[in-house]
Structure 1
Amino acid sequence: MPSSIGIHLDTCDGQRLPRTLASAIAERLRGEILTAVLLPGQKLHIAILAKRFSVSLAAVREALSRLVTDGIVQSLDQRGFRVSPVSSADLRDLTRTRIEIEGLALRRAMAEGGPEWEAAVESAFAALSVLPRLGAEQPERHNEAWASQHRRFHQALVGACGSAWLLRLRHVLYEQSERYRRLSIPLETRERDVEAEHLRLMEAALARDESAALAALAEHFQRTTDIILAADVALLREPLAA
């Protein structure tokens, strides 16, 4: 069965679906969740998604299962899937945990990283700095090219930490934080110099100044959280039914 996302489906019963197909569907859904096309708490009906993407039910189910692993989709016992809800309590907990986990990864990267790590961090920062953060036509939304490079910059900072498990945990936390971070953009009441925050973080990391780097990291993450909490977003206050 040809897919509307440009991939062909293996129709043999009982066979695992091609990774490329499930990955492509997962990435489409991930993008729609991060940009709030699919809202927190929204039910994800497998049959509807399969029809929209012109793929099998099994293809959608596998894609959703992958997003469950990343924490941005929830599996409901006997009731399918939904976009993971958001809340102020979850945001606070997530931010504290991310600061601790990413801080540990950054400390290890500063201790272990050599010239290649330094060059990767500087290159990622340079590429990020030349991109506009907000969309030209929709200034309340990210420029997606910036968002992709922003991900690479933060990955580069911890890339030399030497722990696959730590990087996996950090990835899950990043995915969750990305949903909240995008919520903060239209809520900013004064100009935020994100590039200066990144520069401070990079310079401290490359200088191996652990206390300054960890402080810059924590303040960078916390500022986004504070913006959202100060705005008292209704979505974070209203209970979402399972």
Structure 2
Amino acid sequence: MNEVIEVTTQADQVHSQLRSAILSGALAPGERIRMNFVASDMSVSLGAVREALSRLAAEEIVIATAQRGYRVASLSSEELNDLTETRIALEQICLRASIAEGGVEWEASLAAALHRLLRLPEFENGDCLQLSMAWSQAHDSFHTALVSGSRSVWMNKFRSSLYLQAERYRRLSVPLRTGDRDVAGEHRQLCEAALARDAESACALMRSHLMRTSEILLRSPLLMTAERLERAEG
């Protein structure tokens, strides 16, 4: 029993660290994940690494390939377009429901989530290439708070899955941003429209917010380079 608990605990650790490495880009799209290396580097068992990778595969941010183990899921402009449009549609559905159904506790949690997000620096030590983990967590909490008034458990589960997939793209877009984007202002406007119970404005702002991130990446050569490297690696 103790051995099972230890493997599960180790798997939780590996899952968390690999997930962070994938989202941050430290593990690149298409990169192979060598289980022996991970087990040695993190001082955990192969069983724990295998369990963690199975979870990440279920989340579809790593891919299991026959005879080749696991690799980080690839990125593409085609997927980004599909993901963005699907996410916008689902975020808008959840947001409308949240505005219609959320009570005073929802309002309070949303206002608190915005306050925390705006108070934290987006980058580590002012380095625009190093996104703050605390800010990223607060960003996740804010977007979750926006839709937390919705009573649909399944809708919010689907939304969370899409958020995770989109997060890899969003973090890649951060270093490519120009100075004309006011991310804090976008979040503030989203919050204000939601609290004003203005579903039409909130949904329009959500579309604009998500499209801006997508367009930054689609204008850059980054995705084309990633696709070319993956084809070369076969």
Give the TM interval when normalised to the shorter protein.
over 0.9
Q: Does 1:32 align with 2:56?
A: no
Asked whether the equivalents of residues 28 and 72 of structure 2 are also in contact (C-alpha less than 8 Å), the reply is yes
**Percentage of identical aligned residues:** 42
Instruction: Give the Cα separation in 1 of the matches to 2:79 and 2:5.
Output: 34
Tell me the equivalent position of 1:5.
none
Tell me the equivalent position of 2:185.
196
**Equivalence map 1:64-103=2 (5 Å):** 64-103=53-92
Specify which structure has the higher proportion of helix.
2
Tell me the equivalent position of 2:225.
235
Q: Which moved more, 1:230-239 or 1:104-113?
A: 230-239
Instruction: Give the Cα separation in 1 of the matches to 2:218 and 2:52.
Output: 32
Tell me the equivalent position of 2:165.
176
2:178 partner SS: coil
1:219 alignment partner, one of 196, 208, 215: 208
Asked whether the equivalents of residues 88 and 236 of structure 1 are also in contact (C-alpha less than 8 Å), the reply is no
1:81 partner SS: strand
Q: Which has the higher contact order (CA 8 A, sep 6+)?
A: 2
1:74 partner SS: strand
CA deviation string 1:164-215 (max 9, x = no partner): 2112211111111111111111111333210110011111111111110111
After TM superposition, the score normalised by the length of structure 2 is 0.93
1:58 alignment partner, one of 47, 69, 81: 47
1:164 alignment partner, one of 117, 131, 153: 153
Quote how far apart the aligned CAs of 1:239 are: 5.7
1:155 alignment partner, one of 141, 144, 149: 144
After TM superposition, the score normalised by the length of structure 1 is 0.90
Quote how far apart the aligned CAs of 1:16 are: 7.1
Instruction: Give the Cα separation in 1 of the matches to 2:226 and 2:78.
Output: 8
Instruction: Give the Cα separation in 1 of the matches to 2:105 and 2:162.
Output: 25
Instruction: Give the Cα separation in 2 of the matches to 1:32 and 1:147.
Output: 13
Q: What letter is aligned with 2:72?
A: V
Which stretches of structure 1, 4 residues or more, deviate above 6 A after TM superposition? none
- Unpaired runs of at least 5, structure 2: none
Quote how far apart the aligned CAs of 1:93 are: 0.7
Tell me the equivalent position of 1:128.
117
Q: CA RMSD in A?
A: 1.8
Instruction: Give the Cα separation in 2 of the matches to 1:146 and 1:176.
Output: 18
How many corresponding residue pairs? 231
